[in-house]
Homo-oligomer: A and B are copies of this chain.
Amino acid sequence: MKKLKRSARLVEMTQYLLIRPHTLIPLTTFADRYNSAKSSISEDLAIIKEVFEEEGLGELQTLAGAAGGVQYIPKVTAAGALQFIHQLCRQLEQPERILPGGYLYMSDILGQPMILNEIGKLFASVFAKRDIDIVMTVETKGIPLAYATATYLNLPVVIVRRDSKVTEGSVVSINYVSGSNKRIQTMSLARRALKEESRVLIIDDFMRVGGTIQGMMDLLQEFKATVEGVGVFVESGEVEEHLVEDYISLAKLSVVDPKSRQIKVVPGTYFKESEIRGE
């Protein structure tokens, strides 16, 4: 590659880092790529690091030594996260969202890539330090949330199907009780879709009692896999006791009154996490 000026190099490196989160890039990669001295690359990275931190894009972590390099860790600031969630809460409180059974219509919100990317970044921030191999969700509405999170964590995604007729070779199916209607349902995962002993982050859009997430956990046992974290977009506040104890929610539906058409949504457990508050 031809020798680039600092200005062009900064543009190039910025995009290169942004599309490769959680990936260690040796300084020699940049030095070779731009035909530049490592000292110049280090100076460039210092400039990028400062802007990323000021803009709340995340951290640039540099590791010294032969196996060293630089890696971009997407992080949302506590203030940025709270502001975003407050806006979302106001949107979720629009009375026309009330559906039969006390559910909320959220498909329009979950259909906006810009919002999803922000949610993905929030989950990627809070789970950044966990040792995770793969992100798991169950069809349908959790899928875009899982991909958005996985993008910022640079991890693959596996989708559990609610169907036992999946034509993907040998399949593991389990029955679970959906908390909301107490019906017995089935979820399945192709044997080849998940390596044994994987460390898994579960992401879903909504949690009431936690039956669906408990189902995913049971399914994971069949793969000798471990759950390293659970993230839900919205949790229902009407339930006193959850089947799942250790989870992170972004928002909590504290009141849904179909009669008075009143909805109250407050920030979730995310904002109790000390990791977020920088402690």
Chain A residues proximal to chain B, CB less than 8 Å: 6-8, 10-12, 14-15, 18-19, 47-48, 50-52, 55, 57, 99-101, 103, 105, 107-108, 111-114, 116-117, 139-140, 143-144, 147-148, 150-151, 154-159, 161, 167-169, 190, 192-193
Contact A117 B19 (CB under 8 A): yes
CB pairs A–B below 8 angstroms (18 shown): A6-B7, A7-B7, A7-B10, A10-B11, A11-B14, A11-B48, A15-B51, A15-B55, A18-B18, A19-B117, A99-B168, A100-B167, A111-B193, A116-B147, A117-B151, A139-B140, A144-B144, A144-B157
The answer for the CA separation of A83 and B159 in the assembled complex, in Å, is: 28
Complex Cα spacing A107 to B167, Å: 11
Chain B minimum-CB-distance residue to A103: B167
Chain B residues within 8 Å of A167, by CB: 99-101, 103
Interfacial chain B residues near A159, Cβ < 8 Å: 107, 111, 140
A146, closest chain B residue (CB): B144
* From B15, B140, B157, B168, contact of A161 by CB (8 A): B140
Q: How far is the CA of A168 from the CA of B144 in the complex (A)?
A: 18
For A113, list chain B residues within 8 Å (CB).
147, 150-151, 154-157
Would you call the interface of chain A mostly helix, strand, loop, or mixed? helix
Find out whether the CB atom of B105 lies under 8 angstroms from the CB atom of A15.
no
Instruction: Decide: A51 near B12, CB < 8 A? Known: A107-B193, A113-B154.
Output: yes
A105 touching B192 in the complex, CB below 8 Å, given contacts A6-B7, A51-B11, A111-B158:
yes
Distance of A101 from chain B, by nearest CB (Å): 6
Shortest A41–chain B CB gap in Å is 14
In contact, A7 and B47 (Cβ under 8 angstroms):
yes
Which residue on chain B has the smallest CB distance to residue A10?
A: B10
Q: Which residue of B lies closest to A20 (CB)?
A: B114
Least CB distance, A70 to chain B, in whole angstroms: 14
Most chain B C-beta atoms within 10 Å of own C-beta, residue among A11, A48, A101, A192: A11
Cβ B107 vs Cβ A8 within 8 A: no
Check B8–A47 contact: CB distance below 8 A.
yes
